[in-house]
Amino acid sequence: MEKILANWESLSVSSGALRFLDTNLRGIGQVMFQDNPLSGALFLAAIAWGSYAAGTPQVAIAGVLAVIVSNLTALWLHVESEPLHSGLYGFNGILVGLALATFLAPGPLLWVYVILGAAVSVVVMLATTNVVKPWGGALTFPFVLTTWLLLLATYGFSGLAGTALPSGAVVTAFQPYKANPLQLIDLGNGVILSISQVFLKGSGISALLLLAGLAVSSLAAAAFALGGAVLAVLTAHLFGAESDLITGGLLGFSPVLTAIALGTVFYRPSWRVVAYAALATVFTVIAQAALNVALTPFAIPALTAPFVLVTWLFLLPRQRLETVAPAANDVEKPVAGA
Amino acid sequence: MEKILANWESLSVSSGALRFLDTNLRGIGQVMFQDNPLSGALFLAAIAWGSYAAGTPQVAIAGVLAVIVSNLTALWLHVESEPLHSGLYGFNGILVGLALATFLAPGPLLWVYVILGAAVSVVVMLATTNVVKPWGGALTFPFVLTTWLLLLATYGFSGLAGTALPSGAVVTAFQPYKANPLQLIDLGNGVILSISQVFLKGSGISALLLLAGLAVSSLAAAAFALGGAVLAVLTAHLFGAESDLITGGLLGFSPVLTAIALGTVFYRPSWRVVAYAALATVFTVIAQAALNVALTPFAIPALTAPFVLVTWLFLLPRQRLETVAPAANDVEKPVAGA
Amino acid sequence: MEKILANWESLSVSSGALRFLDTNLRGIGQVMFQDNPLSGALFLAAIAWGSYAAGTPQVAIAGVLAVIVSNLTALWLHVESEPLHSGLYGFNGILVGLALATFLAPGPLLWVYVILGAAVSVVVMLATTNVVKPWGGALTFPFVLTTWLLLLATYGFSGLAGTALPSGAVVTAFQPYKANPLQLIDLGNGVILSISQVFLKGSGISALLLLAGLAVSSLAAAAFALGGAVLAVLTAHLFGAESDLITGGLLGFSPVLTAIALGTVFYRPSWRVVAYAALATVFTVIAQAALNVALTPFAIPALTAPFVLVTWLFLLPRQRLETVAPAANDVEKPVAGA
């Protein structure tokens, strides 16, 4: 594996086209913090399968278009090479493309929206990185902010309509998940879909491809993703969250990202770090439920905002925590130092 | 008094248990900016009396549990000793505990919530302090953010229900307070309860205990608390605020904190400072009314957010105001420098 | 022209009263980034005409009162002389005065509100400048924040009532603008009113006076204002925005400010800058539509928040963009350096 990647790397250096392909694949990999083209390729397979299985192939196309537009925008803006080639200007773009095509109806203006959103996500990435560099990376905040504005605006534009947007109706009574030994399979389903929902997909096969993509790059990342999903589903169940949200993975995708970020990317591993990451993961479930409620009047989805909020809160104290030093090769460094 | 405190201090140094008790009492005192265990003890008496009188003893218990959990969490996170012993990692925790037990129905999950919220409030305290240290302290922002997320999430959790949470219904017509010489006593009541509502209590005896707790540590703080409450009630009355909000002290507790903070803690006293603090106090009443309206769709209380917002706005210009230098021994220094 | 201004400048230096008049005129000019008393005088004429034509002379009076109160507050707070004399402590104040008198019914408390808002806007200006100085100026954020709080609070105060405030009702179906060669005049109207709405006016004559005020100070600013308005109206039309919003200039005033700011004030001119400013202008239309929706539950207007948000996002990357260095004499420098 390492040899293949080394060969690929030397090929990429020799060809502008391959370098650009490599940059886009790494951009997809960076959605789950993996600066690795093979991870990106497996994640792309997960997206393609999930979109095909859901009968919405335009979603995968929008994602690919968006990551390309993002990286072209970054080139036009003369960003530094190292973070660009690590995919750091692509991961927000692909998420913008996937989210817009998931929540909006197909049509010519959708593609205008995807291109506009992908380009703006790069500006927001540069802006956010400048603000947060003293303590961490931009995470998926550029994706969240850009997509929220674009989705909110559709309610004022007759040319763009939502198909999957939540309604702004008042919160009503819901059906909490009932514990039942026979239904443990449902909880397991919730764990799996918590992973695929990171890419807005509800597909078990996509989840397996994503776990494979994590594992080829970092076994620890795959383990924290799975552990985070289990912890999130159990926490949501303990507090009596809505059954459909738990089993659909909709309360677990942000905690999965929190667990990977705090457990494997930003801090050196230790039991203290595991406990700290677990506390953050549990609180991300709270934040997800809270934002679901808070965004109801606006009829937009929370996206990965709970992950961004909680991970920022738990990253900020870092410089004060004596024994929790940053790892030498963390993904965040290129962002902060770029 | 000073001798008693000096004796207590030497006792605290000699014993880990007494030091921890001292830290927790100072944490309660820091809710109103007093780094003083006797203030904390009197504030605790005010909380205990207010909870007992309202028939909700669990509120006081939740507050005590929360401040202990907060300080244990701070120890686990290896925070610096000086701010820890000054109670700076406890005051947000006790407010989280009091608020959760005030707004949510009793039950096993309430206690899980109190422990989780108290622990997270320490992380948010460290995070906020890192962001705001160029211009001031974290104030009660960690309490506000943590409690808002926990309360919002209850609308998505069947295991936790609100008893005292405001409803999300549309704002309707209300009954403004009518000026009437015979009802001056009502305005006086509003002044007193504005002080006790800092700890979420509507009790005149609690208010007197709180004033006593302030006075043993700082007569100026007690005077600014009372002056701030009077100014807030008069301002709310001038603009025609709702009668029940004025007489219940619900528009005055944030201005009381603003008055203490700007008048006695962060700046050297002078008539300019008094005028500046008065402007901030009046604007805190506006901010309180504004946030009450803005939070209606989310059905959560404003807590002390108006105090935090306005005090931050009025602290930020400090470094530009020539003649308004910070006091030598301000409470904020340990936070900012920690 | 230059000679007149030079004469005026030497007169201003010699007389405290003329200096104060000059400061207030420059404050009005700074609403559209012009540190020029003649621009301010022409803008004032635009305000006066727009208020007179709309039958609301109190709006112009509130604006003048507010800019005076703002500058007196700044003097009282001992701000530095250079930014004060450049009008940087007045432009938020006049907007607060205009907005309060536009959206609230006349009455004694309106004038209390105008004075309070104008004074607080200076504190918020100092606070915001301290936070954002690493990357740019405060823009009109102090106006937006102060006015939002004051307007929100009116829903809790019986003494202040709105006349022109939007209602908090649920967003409903609307009539998008229908393209039609015969109605091109309507689009042209939208372009013109996009300029006058910067000062909350719907008047073509006011728009011409504003363009004249820009042109006497900077032809580039006038050109970018007009170009920004055209681009905004076309973008809004492309996405199918509501007819009345387009033709009334209500989707164009924030983009006009974005275009002037990014095109002429903060960056050196080049085609790259024009393209970058155009992208920002288009995205400001999206942000305007988004904030219109997001603020519906709160029944307050977006004011210039879309301009502030997008301009900050597009300014923040500056230090990373190799070939886009700041101009030598940009308006922002005095703010940041003050």
At which residue do the structure tokens 């004694």 appear? C108
- Per-residue pLDDT tens for C164-188? 777 665 445 566 766 555 578 888 9
- Per-residue pLDDT tens for A272-292? 889 999 999 999 999 999 999
Picking from C240, C312, C323, the nearest residue to A159 by CB comes out as C240
* Cβ atoms A247, A187 nearer than 8 A: yes
Q: What's the CA gap between C254 and C197, in Å, rounded?
A: 9
Q: What are phi and psi of B104, to 5 degrees?
A: -115, 155
Confidence of residue B14 (pLDDT cuts 50, 70, 90): confident
DSSP annotation of C327: P
Q: What's the CA gap between A187 and A192, in Å, rounded?
A: 9
What per-residue confidence (pLDDT) applies to A335? 31
**Mean of the per-residue pLDDT values of chain A:** 89
User: Does the beta-carbon distance from A116 to C286 stay under 8 Å?
Assistant: yes
Rounded mean pLDDT, C40-49: 97
**Taking CB atoms and an 8 Å cutoff, what residues of chain A touch C168?**
none
Question: What is the SS3 assignment for B162?
Answer: strand
Structure tokens at C328: 């030598």
Q: What proportion of chain C, given as a percentage, has pLDDT over 90?
A: 72
Structure tokens at C226: 């007009």
* Cβ atoms C199, C45 nearer than 8 A: no
CATH of domain A11-320: 1.10.3430.10
User: Does the beta-carbon distance from C158 to B174 stay under 8 Å?
Assistant: yes
CA B39 to mean position of chain CA atoms: 14
**Taking CB atoms and an 8 Å cutoff, what residues of chain C touch B171?**
155-156, 168
> Which residues on adjacent β-strands are paired with residue B162?
B104
Rounded mean pLDDT, B212-218: 96
What per-residue confidence (pLDDT) applies to C293? 92
- Whether B169 has a pLDDT exceeding 60, the answer reads no
Q: What's the CA gap between C12 and C230, in Å, rounded?
A: 38
Closest CA to C90 of C117, C69, C60: C69
Which amino acid makes up residue A248? G
- Whether C288 has a pLDDT exceeding 70, the answer reads yes
* Cβ atoms A253, A197 nearer than 8 A: yes
- Per-residue pLDDT tens for A300-324? 999 999 999 999 999 988 755 544 4
- Percent helix, strand and coil across chain B, each rounded to 5? 70, 0, 25
Confidence of residue C107 (pLDDT cuts 50, 70, 90): very high
What per-residue confidence (pLDDT) applies to B44? 98
Distance spanning both ends of chain A, measured CA to CA: 29
Q: What proportion of chain B, given as a percentage, has pLDDT over 70?
A: 89
The number of beta carbons lying within 10 Å of the beta carbon of residue A333 is 16
User: Does the beta-carbon distance from A241 to B157 stay under 8 Å?
Assistant: yes
What per-residue confidence (pLDDT) applies to B330? 39
Q: What's the CA gap between B143 and B120, in Å, rounded?
A: 10
Question: What is the SS3 assignment for A331?
Answer: coil
Distances (CA, A) of B250 to B233, B255, B311, C251: 10, 10, 18, 38
User: Does the beta-carbon distance from C290 to A109 stay under 8 Å?
Assistant: no
Which amino acid makes up residue B295? L
CA B20 to mean position of chain CA atoms: 22
pTM score, whole prediction? 0.92
User: Does the beta-carbon distance from B77 to A321 stay under 8 Å?
Assistant: yes
**Mean of the per-residue pLDDT values of chain C:** 89
- Per-residue pLDDT tens for A8-54? 888 888 888 999 999 999 999 999 999 999 999 999 999 999 999 99
Closest CA to C287 of C317, C323, C312, C267: C312
* Cβ atoms B124, B102 nearer than 8 A: no
**Taking CB atoms and an 8 Å cutoff, what residues of chain A touch B80?**
320
DSSP annotation of B168: -
User: Does the beta-carbon distance from B156 to A241 stay under 8 Å?
Assistant: yes
Rounded mean pLDDT, C274-288: 96
Structure tokens at B88: 């700076």
Domain residue ranges of chain A, discontinuous segments joined by +: 11-320
- Whether A266 has a pLDDT exceeding 80, the answer reads no
Lowest average pLDDT, out of A304-308, B5-9, C96-100, C168-172, goes to C168-172
* Count of residues making up chain A: 338
> How many residue pairs bridge chain B and chain C with CB atoms within 8 Å of each other?
96
Neighbours of chain B (3+ CB pairs under 8 A): A, C
Q: What proportion of chain B, given as a percentage, has pLDDT over 90?
A: 72
What per-residue confidence (pLDDT) applies to C271? 86
Residue B139, sorted as left (phi over 0), alpha (psi -120 to 50) or beta, turns out to be left
User: Does the beta-carbon distance from A287 to B153 stay under 8 Å?
Assistant: yes
> Which residues on adjacent β-strands are paired with residue C242?
C176
Give DSSP secondary structure letters for C55-103: T-HHHHHHHHHHHHHHHHHHHHTT--HHHHHTTTTTHHHHHHHHHHHHH
- Whether A136 has a pLDDT exceeding 90, the answer reads no
* Cβ atoms B29, B58 nearer than 8 A: no
Give DSSP secondary structure letters for C270-320: -HHHHHHHHHHHHHHHHHHHHHHHHTGGGT---TTHHHHHHHHHHHGGGGG
> How many residue pairs bridge chain A and chain B with CB atoms within 8 Å of each other?
96
Lowest average pLDDT, out of A126-140, A154-168, B161-175, goes to B161-175
Picking from C292, C294, C319, the nearest residue to A130 by CB comes out as C319
**Taking CB atoms and an 8 Å cutoff, what residues of chain B touch C160?**
239-240
* Cβ atoms A218, A159 nearer than 8 A: no
Q: What are phi and psi of A104, to 5 degrees?
A: -115, 155
Structure tokens at A150: 């674009």
* Cβ atoms C176, C243 nearer than 8 A: yes
Which amino acid makes up residue C25? L
Picking from B131, B152, B159, the nearest residue to A294 by CB comes out as B152
- What's the burial of C85, exposed, middle or buried (CB within 10 Å: 0-12/13-18/19+)? buried
* B17 or A64, greater pLDDT: A64
Which amino acid makes up residue C212? A
User: Does the beta-carbon distance from C239 to A80 stay under 8 Å?
Assistant: no
- Whether A329 has a pLDDT exceeding 90, the answer reads no
- Whether B327 has a pLDDT exceeding 50, the answer reads no
**Taking CB atoms and an 8 Å cutoff, what residues of chain A touch C171?**
155-156, 168
Q: Where are the alpha helices (DSSP H) in chain C?
A: 2-14, 16-29, 37-53, 57-76, 81-85, 91-103, 108-132, 141-154, 184-196, 204-217, 219-239, 243-247, 253-260, 271-294, 305-315, 332-337
